[in-house]
Amino acid sequence: MTAPTALPALPFGRTVCAMVTPFTADGALDLDGAQRLADRLVGEGGCDGLVLSGTTGESPTTTDAEKNALIRAVAEAVGDRARITAGVGSPDTRHTVELARAAEAAGAHGVLVVTPYYSRPPQEDIAEHFLTVADAVGVPVMLYDIPGRTGTRIEPATMLRLAEHPRIAGVKDCAYDLLGSSKVIAQTGLAYYSGCEELNLPLRSVGGAGYVSTVANVAGPLLAAALDAYDRGAPEEALHCHQRALPLVEAMMAAGLPGTVTAKALLNTLGLPAGPVRAPLRGAAKERVAGLVRTYEEAVGAP
């Protein structure tokens, strides 16, 4: 494993991978595979942060015990080389608090909390949900704003209120509202992370901190290169890297299959730990995998 270095200065890292959860061939949690994948992502994979048990990590189909075992295993593998953020969101505030406390005890550096889904609570109730979780833990909280899946967004006015809490430190932004995000960034100290890879560079240009990416499971260095170039004052190079990644982003995230399925298909093809997905998800068909591999090779190069 790579020698330890200091933890990233940002509360959740800057180039953050929403890591898949590897399973064995029979569908059991593969902790050895998770350690090997995490070590690679943090080493040569261009990631200084990992989100575990997000949607990409198949949180709806993993048990609470599996989630905690995953945190402990990955924390052991990466040490102080990366921030570990645990997905703890659920539609139940009490359960979310339990998951958050357990994640902190297991070694997570932060927690990712999604808007309560399906019940579609009003903004006041959404705010109280997040504040209750933030009050219950001692680690930074990242809010996850993805109204396309939850049915309810976190309105900018609610973000401004939540930003006053000392442990609410960041946002994974999938709201597709660059104006609203820009206003919150300008008025708060929240670290905004793009949760949609096609917006990584645009969000950075208005003050975003980085990204939380499913595509980073297989193309972390390319995504990081776009931000690196932008930050050192090379916008044309940043744009080139951004545009080079777009076909892969589209193939993995916007072509009809969940990102978990496409990421695992590519990881398995590359000989990296991933394994199958759990039902109700199903693995990609062979012709889809072949197309993914071609697009991957065009963007990143042959393995």
Question: Length of the chain, please?
Answer: 303
Bridge partners of residue 36, in order along the sequence: none
The active-site residue out of 67, 117, 144, 193 is: 144
Report how far residue 153's alpha carbon sits from residue 237's, in angstroms, rounded to the nearest whole number.
34
Report how far residue 34's alpha carbon sits from residue 20's, in angstroms, rounded to the nearest whole number.
8
144 is catalytic: yes
Residue 120 dihedral angles phi and psi, to the nearest 5°: 50, 60
**Two tokens at 113?**
């909390």
117 is catalytic: no
Report how far residue 288's alpha carbon sits from residue 283's, in angstroms, rounded to the nearest whole number.
10
| Residue 141 CB coordination number (10 Å) | 29
> Could you give the angle at the alpha carbon of 258 between the alpha carbons of 243 and 293, nearest 5°?
55
The active-site residue out of 67, 117, 118, 172 is: 172
The angle, 0 to 180 degrees and rounded to 10, between the axes of the packed helices 286-300 and 235-253 is: 170
Can you tell me whether residue 165 is helix, strand or coil? coil
Where in the sequence numbering do the catalytic residues fall?
Answer: 144, 172
